[in-house]
Amino acid sequence: MDKGFLRRLLFFVTLVITLVGTHKTLAEVSAQNNSVREFASQKRLPGESWQQARERFYQQWDRQFPMAWSRDNAESVAVPFSQLNHNKVVTWGSEDELLTGFFQVRDQRDLDDPLQAPIFKRRLTWLYPDDGCYARAAMMKKYLSGRGYTEPTRIFIFGSLEVQTDNSPSGSVTWWYHTAPVVRIGGQVYVFDPAINPQGPTPVRDWVMAQTSDIDDVKLSYCAPSTYHPGSSCDKPAEYEDAEALSTMKSFLRYEWDRQIELNRDPAQILGEQPPW
């Protein structure tokens, strides 16, 4: 038998085995993270009020993980903006530190895309604002602490939230809650949230007003760095609370890639070397 044919046959068999193994891995990853995406989702369904989305969240958690959410959770301790204790937010040293930290986490590309690996590294899913804020916030905390920064506090906001964005076909996304890291410089609290503002850290009041037309219609809480979702303990989250953030984040990479195609963008460019900032 021709040796060239044997080599081609061996290559083909190896390729098939690799692809089958890859699909199995993707299926396993999808199954593993399905519960996180479903139960911790910030999205409001079409026609759903934020109160209905909140009720859906707790009902789903009770069915799947009875009493797994904390009684002193991020949502239950939320207060109006005027009652927030900004002194609870961790203090960083300077504006230079603030800006450097923000741009480092915004631009960091180290996520292996299951469909593009190993040659194409991805950033966090800033260009898919629909969902996944809880995982993005946890990953930002990980990135910052890995670079030697003090771990940021976590802010949560609850209410009928809507954000105008070029990264949605409809021009906006709607949530029942949202979360991101925050730090304090002097008397000002800044939010790290490139999904809303990729240009730099956002003063907390401006961040709130990007999501609501009336600041009195929302409630907020400042929580521990590892508080993961609305049902997590605000001040004393479990050590493993945000351990799934990386695998959950990877499960959103395909959504972000497909979104760029939906918006008539070249995903390889905009998610690679030519981001829209």
Question: Which is it for strands 202-203 and 188-191: parallel, antiparallel or unpaired?
Answer: antiparallel
Examine the pLDDT at 14 and tell me if it is beyond 70. no
Output the DSSP codes for the chain: --HHHHHHHHHHHHHHHHHHHHHHHHHHHHHHHHHHHHHS--BPPTT--HHHHHHHHHHHHHHHSTT-S-TTBTTTT-B-GGG--GGGSPB-S-HHHHHHHHHHHHH---EEPTTTTTT-EE---TT-TTS-HHHHHHHHHHHHHHTTPPPPEEEEEEEEEEEE-TTSTTSEEEEEEEEEEEEEETTEEEE--TTT-TTS-EEHHHHHHTT-S-GGG-EEEEE-TT--STTSBSSS--TTTTTTHHHHHHHTHHHHHHHHHHTT--HHHHTTT----
| pLDDT recorded at residue 117 | 64
Mean pLDDT across the stretch 17-21? 35
pLDDT in tens, 101-150: 999 999 999 999 877 767 899 999 999 999 999 999 999 999 999 999 99
| pLDDT recorded at residue 89 | 99
Mean pLDDT across the stretch 172-188? 98
Mean pLDDT across the stretch 248-265? 96
Whole-angstrom distance, CA of residue 194 vs CA of residue 102? 9
Poorest-confidence range of 9-23, 77-91, 239-253? 9-23
| Averaged pLDDT score across all residues of the chain | 87
| pLDDT recorded at residue 275 | 98
Q: Which of 249, 248, 100, 243 minimizes the C-alpha distance to 183?
A: 100
Contact 132, 139 (CB under 8 A): no
| pLDDT recorded at residue 205 | 99
pLDDT-based confidence at residue 240 (cuts at 50, 70, 90): confident
Whole-angstrom distance, CA of residue 77 vs CA of residue 250? 30
Whole-angstrom distance, CA of residue 125 vs CA of residue 257? 9
Sign of the dihedral through C-alpha 267, 268, 269, 275:
positive
| pLDDT recorded at residue 241 | 79
CA distances from 138 to 185, 187, 205, 226, 245 (A): 21, 24, 22, 7, 6
| pLDDT recorded at residue 116 | 75
pLDDT in tens, 186-206: 899 999 999 999 999 999 999
Mean pLDDT across the stretch 83-97? 98
| pLDDT recorded at residue 67 | 61
For residue 68, the one-letter residue type is A
Structure token pair of residue 155: 């802010």
Mean pLDDT across the stretch 149-176? 98
pLDDT-based confidence at residue 61 (cuts at 50, 70, 90): confident
- By percentage, how much of the chain surpasses pLDDT 70? 84
Query: 0.75 exceeded by the pTM?
Result: yes
Examine the pLDDT at 258 and tell me if it is beyond 60. yes
What domains, with CATH codes, occur in the chain? 3-262 (3.10.620.30)
pLDDT-based confidence at residue 13 (cuts at 50, 70, 90): very low
Examine the pLDDT at 3 and tell me if it is beyond 80. no
Contact 220, 79 (CB under 8 A): yes
Mean pLDDT across the stretch 78-84? 99
Mean pLDDT across the stretch 9-30? 35
